[in-house]
Structure 1
Amino acid sequence: MPSLLPRAEQKNILITGASSGIGEALAWACAKRGMNLALVARRLDRLENLAERIRERYQVQVEVAALNICENEKIMPIFMGFSELLGRIDIVVANAGILKSRKVGDGRIDRDAQVFETNVLGAIATSESAISLFRMQGRGGHLAVISSYSAFMPLPSGAAYSASKAAVSSYFNAVRAPLLRENISLSLIYPGFVSTDLLQGFNSHGLPIIAKAKDVAEEILTAILAKKKNAIVPRLPWAVLYQMQKLVPNALLNSVQKFL
C-alpha cells in the first residue's frame, strides 16, 4: 500500500548507528518518503537484513557498510563510496552513540572514556567527514546531530552520557554559523526517553520510556527536512517539559533527579 506521507524530493540520506533503535526507525521513515539510504553501523549482519527488508517494501536504493565511528580514518572513504554509489549525499545524520551507566566513585573511568570517545569525538569525526564530503560535492548539504534530552536534565546514573550529549550540543551550536556560510545547514535533535536497545539495558531505575522509536523517527525526519536548528522530540511531553523546567526551582529538580 503506498504511503500517504509526502515524498522527499530525490534526497539521499546517510545515517550512522542505523542497525537498531532510532537509527533503524529513521531509515524506515526515510524510505517511506522515497529517500535513498546509506546506512552504517558496527553490526553489518543487522544492516544487511534491514536493507533487504526495506528494499522489499519500498522502491529505494539502500547501501550499507560496517563502520565504527571511533575509527576516524575509515569514515571518509566510506562516505565517499556512498556518494559515488548514490550520486551524492544530501543529508548526514550523526546518530551513533552508546550509554554506559556506573555508580560515581566506583573507579570505572574507562566506561566514561568510552562514552565520550563515541558520543563526542565520534560525532565530531562524523561531522568532519560529512562537511568535507559536502564541500567536494558542491551545493552544500545538511548535517543532523542526535543529542538527547538528558543534555538538559542529566541522569545521575548516566552522568557521562548526559555530559557527552551536553558537549555535543555545545560543540555543534558553536560551529553552526561558520557552516551556514558554506550553505551547510545543521539540526540538533534532542530525543526524550525512547524505547530502544540503548536504553533498555539502562532502565533499572524505571525511567519513563514513553515514546516508540518509530514515532520519534517521524518527528526527527520532519525536523530535518524543515531544517530546524533545534528540535526536542517527541514534542509532547518533552518540548513542553523543557519550558516548564525553566520555571522549576533547582532544589525541586535535584529531588526529581534522585529517582532517575
Structure 2
Amino acid sequence: MRRNILITGASSGLGEEMARQFAAKGHNLALTARREDRLKALQAELTAAHPNATILVHPLDVNDHAAVFETFKKTDAELPLDRIIVNAGIGKGAPLGTGRFDANLITAQTNFTAVLAQAEAALELFRPRNTGHLVFISSVAAVRGMPKSVTTYAATKAAVATLAEGLRLELLGKPIKVSTIFPGYIRSELNEHVAKTPLIVDTVPGVRAMVAAIEAEKAKAFVPSWPWVPMARILEFAPLPLLKRMI
C-alpha cells in the first residue's frame, strides 16, 4: 500500500537513506531538515528515480517548535500524512562537568524537547481522524546509561523510548500505531569519524532493517536484529563493572 510519509532529519545519514528506500517501495514522501540545498538535491534524485512518486521538501529546524507545528500542518494539507517518522537528532555531547554544557544542552533540546514537539504536532493530525503511524527513532544506547560523551545522548534516547511507550500504552488497541526503532551501530554522518569496528553495520543494510521494521509497524525493534537483539539483552542486565569493560 502506498503511504504518505514525513521524515524529519532527512538531509543526511539514516533519514536520507530511509527516504531512498521508502521511495523505492513506492511511497510518497515529505522530507524535512535544516539544509534545504541537500533536501532539494535528494528530491531531484528521488524524483528522477521514481517519477510516479510525490516527493515534497520543506526546510525545518526542529528546535523551532512553532515551525514544527506549522510545517507538519502545511505538509499534511499538501499530502495527507499517514506515517510520520521522528528521526531528526544530533550526537554532540561531552562528559558532564567538563565545561561543555552547551553541547549537552543542544543534544537534550534536539533529541528530546524537539521530539516532544514533533510528537505533539503529529498527533494533532492523527487524533481527529483516528488513524496514522507515528515512528520514533531511538537507539540501542537507550537501554542503559552510557559514560563520557555519550551520557546525555543515551539519556535523551531513553526519554524518547519512554515517551513512545507511554503513547503506545494510551493508544493500545486503537487505529493509531506507535513504533520505537532502536538502531544499533549503523554507519552515518553522526559516527563517520569512527574507525570500522566489528559491530558497525553499513548504512544501506542497516537502514534496510529499520525500514522493514517500520513497514511491519512493529511496536519495538532493535535493528539490525543481529547482533543488536542479543546485545541489547546483554546491555540491559550486565552489572556495571562488566558494562564498563564492554563499552
Q: TM-score, normalised by structure 1?
A: 0.88
Counterpart residue number, 2:148? 156
What is the alpha-carbon distance in structure 2 between the residues aligned to residue 228 and residue 177 of structure 1? 14
What is the alpha-carbon distance in structure 1 between the residues aligned to residue 133 and residue 208 of structure 2? 17
What is the alpha-carbon distance in structure 1 between the residues aligned to residue 206 and residue 39 of structure 2? 20
Deviation at 1:104, TM superposition (A): 3.5
Counterpart residue number, 1:55? 47
What is the alpha-carbon distance in structure 1 between the residues aligned to residue 94 and residue 197 of structure 2? 16
What is the alpha-carbon distance in structure 2 between the residues aligned to residue 170 and residue 149 of structure 1? 13
- 3-state DSSP class of the match of 1:237? helix
What is the alpha-carbon distance in structure 2 between the residues aligned to residue 147 and residue 52 of structure 1? 29
Alignment of 1:176-191 (within 5 A): 176-180=168-172, 183-191=175-183
- 3-state DSSP class of the match of 1:241? helix
Alignment of 1:93-172 (within 5 A): 93-136=85-128, 138-153=129-144, 154-172=146-164
1:116-173 deviation per Cα after TM superposition (whole angstroms, max 9, x unaligned) = 100001111101000001134x141000000011112425322111111111111221
- Tell which deviates more after alignment, 246-255 or 118-127: 246-255
Choose which of 84, 94, 106 in structure 1 pairs with 2:77.
84
Q: TM-score, normalised by structure 2?
A: 0.93
Please, what is the CA RMSD of the aligned residues? 1.8
Counterpart residue number, 1:75? 68
- 3-state DSSP class of the match of 2:190? helix
Choose which of 196, 209, 228 in structure 1 pairs with 2:218.
228
Counterpart residue number, 2:26? 34
Deviation at 1:239, TM superposition (A): 0.9
- Tell which deviates more after alignment, 190-199 or 235-244: 235-244
* Pair 1:240 & 2:233 matched: no
What is the alpha-carbon distance in structure 2 between the residues aligned to residue 171 and residue 75 of structure 1? 18
1:71-96 deviation per Cα after TM superposition (whole angstroms, max 9, x unaligned) = 1111122112222222x101000000
Moved over 6 A (4+): none
- Whether the 8 Å CA contact 1:13–1:35 is kept in 2: the answer is yes
Taking only the aligned residue pairs, the percentage that are identical comes to: 35
- Whether the 8 Å CA contact 1:11–1:35 is kept in 2: the answer is yes
What is the alpha-carbon distance in structure 2 between the residues aligned to residue 129 and residue 84 of structure 1? 13
- Whether the 8 Å CA contact 1:192–1:234 is kept in 2: the answer is yes
Choose which of 57, 60, 65 in structure 2 pairs with 1:64.
57
- Whether the 8 Å CA contact 2:7–2:32 is kept in 1: the answer is yes
- 3-state DSSP class of the match of 2:179? strand
Aligned positions, number = 245
- Whether the 8 Å CA contact 1:195–1:209 is kept in 2: the answer is no
Paired AA for residue 142 in structure 1: H
- Tell which deviates more after alignment, 107-116 or 155-164: 155-164
Gaps of 5+ in 2: none
What is the alpha-carbon distance in structure 2 between the residues aligned to residue 74 and residue 246 of structure 1? 37
